[in-house]
Amino acid sequence: MGLFGTDGVRGRANAGNMTAETALRLGAAAGRYFRREGSGQAAHRVVIGKDTRQSGYMLENALTAGLTSTGMNVLLLGPVPTPAVGLLARSMRADLGVMISASHNPADDNGIKFFGPDGFKLSDAAESEIERMVAEGVRLAEAPNIGRAKRIDDGRGRYVEYAKTTIPAGMSLEGLKVVIDCANGAAYRAAPDVLAELGATVVPIGVAPNGRNINADCGSTHTDTCAQTVVAHGADVGISLDGDADRVMILDAEGRVADGDQLMALFARRWAEEGQLKGGTLVATVMSNLGLERYLGDMGLALRRTKVGDRYVVEAMRAGGFNLGGEQSGHIVMTDYATTGDGLIAGLQFLAEMVRTGKPAAELMHSFTPVPQRLENVKYAAGAAPLDAPEVLRAIRSAETALDGTGRLLIRASGTEPLIRVMAECEDEALLDRVVEDVAGAVRGAA
C-alpha cells in the first residue's frame, strides 16, 4: 500500500491515504500491534495529540474509533507539539502515542505519526508490520472489551512544566525580548507560556489558528514575518517554529536566520567543552553542510550522517549512544531532554546560552562559514519515476564527474511531498550553479 513515508503517513486531507476510512483501519492495526495481551483492560492506553488543521478533527475521530475497536483506551490531548506526544506516551505509561500533523506542510495536508511506549518514533520494521495489518485486517475486541475515549485537560500543562526544567535551575530569561512564531500551529499556547513563565518579554505571533492558516506565511519555513516582527519590536532574538513545533529557526536582532546546522554546531561545541557530548559525535543527515563537518573536525569531533528524516537521526543516536543530532531544516534532537526533535526546547537552549555568555544572538548563531550549497526542488507527476530516466542518470554522472574532489552532489526523492530534491555543495559557485541546473533541468524534462 505504501502508507508510510519518511515521517509517518502523510498526504492531502480527505484523499489518498489521508481519509477517515484509512485512519480508522490504521488505528485498528496500530492498536492491535501495540496491545499487550494478557494485561488488564486499563493497561491498553494510547495518547493522541494533534496540530491545528481543520482535518485533524476528522482524523482524530477516525483513529479513536479504530483504536477503541481493538480495546485501546484513548486519551485525547488536543493541540500539543509533536515532542509532547513522545513525552506523554512515556510518562503516562501508554502503549503508544499518535500525533496528527503534517508538520511544515500546508493546511490542506495532514499526517499521522506513531510513537512507541518508550516515546520514540517507530522503526521501519514496526511500520511495515502495521502496514501489513492494515492490508489484511485485524481481529477486533469482543464487545465487553471495546475501549473508551476521554479528553485530557492537562497534557499541554505537563509539557510546559517539563520544558521549563530543561534550562539550568534558577536561570531567568528576564531582560530578553523574544519574538516567538508558533506558525498558527500546535505550540500556539504552550510556547508563549513557557517563555513568559521563565521571565522573558514575549512577542507572540502565529498564535491565532483557524484551522486553515497553519504555516501560512509564518513559521520556520517562512521566516520573513518573524524577521520583520523582531526588527519592528526591537527584540533580542526570534524563535520560529513549524506547525507541530518539532523544528526551529533562530533569528538575531537584525532578522538574520540561523538554520539547524548552525544551532547544532553551537550546541556541539558547548557540550564538548563541558564533557557532555557523548562519543564526541554529532549525528546529522546527508543534507547538512560540508562546512559543519569541517568545523567539527577542526575540534576533533565527528559528524555521523544518516538518511533524511529525524527518525533516522534518532535511530543512529540510539544505536551509537550519542545524545545530540538533527537536521539542517531545524530538527534538533537532544535525547537528554526529548525523544524527537523539539523546536521549543532547542530554542530554550539557545536562550540559555545567551544568558550564560551575555552574548547577543548574532554572535552565537554563526559558528562556521557554510560551503556554498544550492537546493532545487522539482515537482513530478504522480506515477512518474524521473530518477530512472536515462537522461537524468546521464546528467547525474556528468555532475558527479565535474564535482569530483571539489564538492558533493545529493539527489533524492522527498519522503513527504512529490518532489525530487537536487542538492550540491562546491566552493566554485559557478560550477555549483551549472551542475544543479543541469541535473534539475533533466529531472524536469522527465517529470
Contact 299, 332 (CB under 8 A): no
User: To the nearest 10°, the Cα dihedral for 214, 218, 219, 225?
Assistant: -160
- Would you say the C-alpha torsion 161, 166, 172, 178 has a positive or negative sign? negative
pLDDT above 70 covers a percentage of the chain that reads: 98
286-309 pLDDT, tens digit per residue, is 999 999 999 999 999 999 999 988
Q: Could you read off the pLDDT of 419-439 as tens digits, one per residue?
A: 999 999 999 999 999 999 999
Q: Say how many C-beta atoms besides its own lie within 10 A of residue 132's C-beta.
A: 12
* Rounded mean pLDDT, 223-247: 98
Fold of 166-254: Alpha-D-Glucose-1,6-Bisphosphate; Chain A, domain 3 (3.40.120)
Tell which residue, 91, 136, 133, has the closest CA to residue 115: 91
If pLDDT is split at 50, 70 and 90, which confidence band does 115 have? very high
Tens of pLDDT, residue by residue over 94-103, are 999 999 999 9
Per residue in 309-364, pLDDT (tens digit) is 888 999 999 999 999 999 999 999 999 999 999 999 999 999 999 999 999 999 99
Report phi then psi at 178, rounded to 5: -120, 125
What does the block give as the cell for 211?
A: 484551522
C-beta of residue 102 within 8 angstroms of C-beta of residue 50: no
Cell of 255: 532578522
Angstrom distances, CA of residue 31 to CA of 96, 211, 276, 383: 8, 28, 38, 32
CB under 8 A, 24+ apart: contacts of 17-21: 18/55, 18/59, 18/109, 18/110, 18/111, 20/58, 20/59, 20/61, 20/62, 21/62
Architecture field, domain 260-342: 3-Layer(aba) Sandwich (3.40)
The predicted pLDDT at position 249 comes to 98
Q: HSE (CB half, 13 Å, CA atoms) of 108?
A: 4
Asked if 185 and 51 touch (Cβ cutoff 8 Å), the reply is: yes
Alpha helices (H) along 274-338: 290-298, 310-320
Characterize 312-351 residue by residue with b for buried, 16 or more Cβ atoms within 10 angstroms of its Cβ, and e for exposed.
bbbbbbbeeebbbbbbbbbbbbbbebbbbbbbbbbbbbbb
Q: Which DSSP state fits 19? A: S
Q: Spell out the domain ranges in the chain.
A: 4-155, 166-254, 260-342, 373-446
In the numeric block, the cell 568545523 is attached to 295
For residue 206, what pLDDT band results from cuts at 50, 70 and 90?
Answer: very high
Instruction: Say what the pLDDT of residue 7 is.
Output: 83
Contact 371, 291 (CB under 8 A): yes
| Residues facing 240 on adjacent strands | 181, 249
What is d(CA 179, CA 351) in angstroms, rounded to the nearest whole number?
12
pLDDT value of position 36: 56
Residue 125 has pLDDT above 50, yes or no: yes
Identify the residue with better confidence: 39 or 227. 227
CA distance 115 to 340: 10
What is the rounded (10 degree) CA torsion for 269, 275, 279, 280? Answer: 30
Residue 416 has pLDDT above 80, yes or no: no
* Catalytic annotation, residues: 103
Q: Under CATH, which architecture does the 373-446 domain have?
A: 2-Layer Sandwich (3.30)
Element (H, E) at 410: strand 407-413
The pLDDT tens digits for 268-285 are 999 999 999 999 999 999
166-254 and 373-446 have identical folds:
no
CB 289 within 8 A of CB 407: no
Residue 164: which of 326, 347, 340 has the closest Cα?
Answer: 347
Q: Kindly report, residue by residue over 37-96, the tens digit of the pLDDT.
A: 544 445 689 999 999 999 999 999 999 999 999 999 999 999 999 999 999 999 999 999
Half-sphere exposure at residue 360, Cβ-oriented, CA atoms within 13 angstroms: 10
In whole numbers, what is the pLDDT of the chain averaged over residues? 95
> Is 4-155 a domain of CATH 3.30.565.10?
no
- Which of these ranges, 149-163, 183-197, 375-389, has the smallest mean pLDDT? 375-389
